[in-house]
Amino acid sequence: MAGFRDMIVYQKAFELAVRIFKLTKTFPKEELFGLTSQVRNSSRSTCANFGEAYRRRRYKAHLVAKLTDSDAENTETQVHLDMAVPCEYATQEQVAPLIALSEEVGLMLNHLIENPEKLLLK
């Protein structure tokens, strides 16, 4: 089996985190320790938790727990992105493709949560 970096779900989550970082460079400075920090952290945590899940694939319960953490962080990212629009830090046109990518990541994570044997070590 290839490493976690070779998995499409990780690559898409990583891409999302990078795109969010670039977008949030335009957020107001007073949000640096607020929304900016939160959305950056949750998007990066999606990737980090997936990496941890991959390394915990010897035991089904550990694997599923970390995949679930990754999925939760991904959902938190969506909430923060949703908040950026009415706060006028980003437009719907900027946020929509990020939400779509996040939804795609969520579907893949949920598939792995439902089918952990695809990742479990034999």
Q: What is the pLDDT of residue 1?
A: 52
Total tally of structural domains belonging to the chain: 1
Q: Does pTM top 0.75 for this prediction?
A: yes
Taking the C-alpha atoms of residue 73 and residue 106, their distance in angstroms, rounded to an integer, is: 10
**pLDDT score at 68:** 98
Domain encompassing residue 94: 4-118
pLDDT of the chain along its 122 residues, tens only? 579 999 999 999 999 999 999 999 999 998 888 999 999 999 999 999 999 999 999 999 999 999 999 999 999 999 999 999 999 999 999 999 999 999 999 999 999 999 999 899 98
Assign residue 18 the CATH number of its domain.
1.20.1440.60
